[in-house]
Amino acid sequence: MTKITLTIDGMQCGMCEAHVNDAVRRAFSVKKVSSSHSKGETVILTKEDIGDDLLKKVIENTGYRVLSIKKEPYEKKSLFSRG
C-alpha cells in the first residue's frame, strides 16, 4: 500500500475537508482518505499508485491548490507485530 500526503492550500473548515475527501473518493479507488484544514493536508491510503498530475487535477477542480505531494510505502501496524 502507498501513503500519499498532499499539502493543500485553501481549506478553511470541515466542509472544505469533506469536499476534498469526496472528490478523491469519486475519482479513485482508495482505502482511506482524510483531510485536515488546520494542518492543510490530505492523507490518502491506496493499493494502487495515483499519478501526481491526476491527483492535482481532481483536487484543483474543487477549488483548492496542491502545494506538494509526498508518497511513501505504508504498512498497517498490527496489534501483534514485533518491532
- pLDDT tens digits for range 15-62: 999 999 999 999 999 999 999 999 999 999 999 999 999 999 999 999
Grid cell digits, residue 63: 477549488
Q: In this structure, how many other beta carbons lie within 10 angstroms of the beta carbon of residue 10?
A: 16
pLDDT at 81 over 60: no
Residue type at position 27:
A
The pTM assigned to this predicted structure is 0.90
What is the model's pLDDT at position 12? 97
